RNA sequence: GGGUCGCUAGCUCAAUGGUAGAGCUGCGGACUUUUAAUCCGUAGGUUCGGGGUUCGAGCCCCCGGCGACCCA
């Protein structure tokens, strides 16, 4: 709780105190600083659209009532200019002159209106002598008085302030507003792409009675009504597969996953994941679909499959994407043949030689994946599918038909990080049970990411799941791939630790 | 989890261990066509918190908080 003294006017910084006094003054004048309703007749966008290309210094005779946030303010004695911006980013200039509103209203305007206020203006649509489309006010009213000064518009906000006070970031930085819109375009594009292919969007539980569908540490919460610990889901996979069993043969879900792990520029504890599953398809079929979804999203968000990042670099997502074989690539990188049968001691030595300290819970497949990340991934120049993963780290995946210890799984890398993963789904309930039991043994040995045996999921598989391919795509990471920004820029309100109070 | 760097006015940043400053913002004044308006004047500080060293700490040391980057 903030100390009570912060609410006392004497302790407020000067600029905040002055704005509060202006709020009080408005009330004294009988003008509400936060009116419920205003006589709006048009949006700023409507006025701009109707009067595009007007000559300088003309009047239209059209009377309008508009509102927007004051983002620039220029007072020149008997004529004041305020640039108003609406929520859609459109802007228009309001002019308040001695001749049009009279001395009292002009003086009040100069005395009471600040940068950041929401302002209502009624008047005639005109253009200024310099050609700026404007509303010449015959009346102005406060629409909402801003009590805190906005940051200076011409200096970039510190990264921490941008994240902590996104509402301010959105006001002063066009790129922040743009990201909010790009996210919507990408999500709409994903849904269009899948709907077009006959996929049904379904919603599965975020609160689960046991974790599953991925290997990660979960957040745990508690239901008082059921007196039961619940897990915020780490993945929707096991429920989407239940839907496949039930005969919903093409399903997808776009929703939040929660992972109780660290946060950095590519990881967020809560993130949006797309998962989709198609009966009678395999991992290669869904890889193609994944590429097409991402390419369509790139076009929807940026207009092109060749995207330009914030740092100016250009990334081509068009065409087919190369596939490399995981074990072949790692073998080539370390200069000796690596297979699922390579002894753990040998892998351990290779990993240590790469300067990586293995964790005690690591199994053979984990070592191979670490070698991939260390030696192979940094060499990728564009989107790349890494094919055919170790079986022991992929407990939900169908085995490769003629390569023991290998499963039909791929990871898609874009810009050096994992963007999506897909596989031919394991449908055999007997093998699935063996894999989950092995996972449970890992959990018993102290691996808090390993998944437990989900008996209801196994019962569903025993009913019979059609052959299927499935994919998970990190949506926040997709936005990163399209814009080159960090994950905290793609998420509107990322988790931040509370600010210290001195 | 480890290391490095940072935290100073509303915002962005300065300041050999020796009187805490600038720009923008704000406030007062001038200006009826401005576009980050301009001009004149002026105010604004718990230097993230706590402890220590010192005649003297924004600066040095210790503990803690928050953040960024790198590593695991």
Task: Determine whether the distance from the CB of A93 to the nearest atom of strand B is below 7 Å.
Answer: yes
Task: Determine whether the distance from the CB of A18 to the nearest atom of strand B is below 7 Å.
Answer: yes
Residue with tokens 């660290």: A262
Rounding to the nearest 10 degrees, give the CA dihedral for residues A374, A418, A471, A252. Answer: 160
Residue with tokens 């989709």: A276
Rounding to the nearest 10 degrees, give the CA dihedral for residues A271, A274, A275, A280. Answer: -170
Query: How distant is C1' of B59 from CA of A502, in Å?
Result: 21
Torsion region of A257: left, alpha or beta (phi above 0 gives left; psi -120 to 50 gives alpha): beta
Residue A443: the pLDDT is 79
Residue A286: the pLDDT is 98
pTM of the entire predicted model: 0.89
Residue A190 CA to its chain's centroid (Å): 14
Query: How distant is C1' of B69 from CA of A9, in Å?
Result: 40
Beta bridge partners of A263: none
Residue A355 contacts residue A375 (beta carbons within 8 Å): no
What A450-457 contacts at long range (C-beta under 8 Å, 24+ apart), as own/partner pairs, is A450/A215, A451/A211, A451/A212, A451/A213, A451/A214, A451/A215, A451/A395, A452/A210, A452/A211, A452/A212, A454/A210, A454/A212, A454/A238, A457/A212, A457/A238, A457/A241, A457/A242
Residue A333 contacts residue A394 (beta carbons within 8 Å): no
Task: Determine whether the distance from the CB of A154 to the nearest atom of strand B is below 7 Å.
Answer: yes
Residue A11: the pLDDT is 57
Query: How distant is C1' of B69 from CA of A180, in Å?
Result: 26
pLDDT along chain A (502 residues), means of 10: 37 83 93 95 96 93 96 92 92 95 93 94 96 96 93 80 90 88 96 98 95 87 94 95 97 94 85 96 98 98 92 91 96 93 91 83 88 90 94 92 95 91 96 92 78 92 98 94 89 84 44
Residue A304: the pLDDT is 96
Residue nearest to nucleotide B25 (CA to C1'): A152
**Looking at the predicted complex, does its ipTM rise above 0.90?**
no
DSSP 8-class letter at A194: H
Query: How distant is C1' of B32 from CA of A35, in Å?
Result: 30
The secondary structure of A196-260 as a DSSP string is: HTTPEE----SEESS--SS-SPPEEEEETTTTEEEEE-S-SHHHHHHHHHTT--EEEEEEEEE--
Query: How distant is C1' of B41 from CA of A446, in Å?
Result: 71
Residue A321 contacts residue A313 (beta carbons within 8 Å): no
**Chain B footprint bases within 7 A of protein beta carbons:** 1, 9-13, 23-28, 30-38, 43-44, 46, 48-50, 64-72
Task: Determine whether the distance from the CB of A134 to the nearest atom of strand B is below 7 Å.
Answer: yes
Query: How distant is C1' of B42 from CA of A15, in Å?
Result: 15
Task: Determine whether the distance from the CB of A76 to the nearest atom of strand B is below 7 Å.
Answer: yes
Residue A334 contacts residue A363 (beta carbons within 8 Å): no
Q: Please give residues of chain A from 317 to 356 whose alpha-adjacent beta carbon (CB) lies under 7 Å from any atom of strand B.
A: 355-356
Token pair, residue A207, equals 């609160």
**d(C-alpha A139, C-alpha A59), whole Å:** 17
**d(C-alpha A14, C-alpha A394), whole Å:** 60
């Amino acid at each position: 709780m903030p100390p009570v003294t912060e609410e006392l006017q004497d302790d407020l910084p000067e600029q905040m105190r002055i704005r509060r006094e202006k709020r009080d003054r408005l009330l004294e004048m009988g003008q509400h600083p936060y009116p419920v309703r205003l006589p709006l007749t048009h949006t700023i966008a409507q006025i701009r659209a109707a009067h595009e290309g007007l000559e300088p210094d003309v009047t239209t005779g059209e009377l309008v009532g508009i509102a927007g946030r004051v983002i620039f303010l220029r007072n020149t004695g008997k004529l004041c200019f305020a640039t108003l911006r609406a929520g859609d980013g459109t802007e228009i200039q309001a002019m308040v002159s001695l001749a049009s509103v009279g001395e009292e209203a002009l003086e009040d305007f100069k005395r009471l209106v600040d940068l950041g206020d929401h302002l209502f203006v009624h008047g005639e649509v005109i253009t200024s002598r310099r050609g700026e489309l404007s509303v010449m006010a015959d009346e102005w009213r406060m629409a909402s008085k801003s009590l805190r000064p906005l940051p200076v518009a011409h200096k970039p906000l510190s990264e921490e302030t941008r994240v902590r006070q996104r509402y301010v970031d959105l006001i002063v930085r066009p790129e922040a507003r743009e990201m909010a819109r790009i996210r919507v375009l990408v999500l709409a594009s994903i849904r269009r792409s899948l709907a077009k292919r006959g996929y049904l969007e379904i919603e599965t539980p975020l609160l689960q009675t046991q974790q599953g569908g991925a290997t990660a540490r979960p957040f745990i919460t508690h239901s008082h009504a059921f007196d039961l610990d619940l897990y915020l889901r780490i993945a929707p996979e096991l429920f989407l597969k239940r839907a496949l069993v039930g005969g919903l043969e093409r399903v997808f879900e776009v929703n939040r996953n929660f992972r109780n792990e660290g946060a950095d520029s590519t990881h967020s504890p809560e993130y949006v994941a797309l998962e989709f599953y198609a009966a009678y398809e395999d991992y290669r079929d869904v890889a193609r679909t994944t590429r097409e979804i991402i390419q369509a999203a790139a076009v929807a968000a940026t207009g092109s499959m060749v995207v330009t990042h914030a740092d100016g670099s250009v990334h081509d997502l068009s065409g087919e994407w190369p596939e490399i074989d995981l074990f072949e690539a790692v073998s080539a990188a370390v200069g000796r043949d690596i297979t699922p049968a390579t002894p753990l001691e040998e892998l351990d030595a290779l990993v240590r030689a790469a300067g990586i300290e293995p964790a005690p819970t690591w199994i053979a497949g984990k070592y191979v994946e670490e070698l991939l990340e260390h030696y192979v991934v940094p060499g990728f120049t564009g989107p790349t599918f890494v094919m055919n993963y170790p079986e022991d780290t992929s407990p939900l995946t169908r085995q490769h038909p003629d390569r023991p210890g290998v499963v039909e799984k791929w990871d898609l890398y874009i810009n050096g990080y994992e963007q999506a993963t897909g596989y031919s789904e394991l449908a055999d309930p007997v093998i699935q049970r063996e894999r989950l039991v092995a996972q449970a043994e890992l959990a018993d040995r102290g691996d808090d990411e390993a998944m437990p045996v989900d008996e209801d999921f196994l019962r569903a598989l025993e009913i019979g799941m059609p052959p299927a391919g499935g994919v998970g795509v990190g949506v926040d990471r997709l936005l990163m791939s399209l814009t080159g920004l960090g994950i905290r820029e793609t998420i509107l309100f990322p988790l931040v630790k509370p600010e210290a109070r001195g």
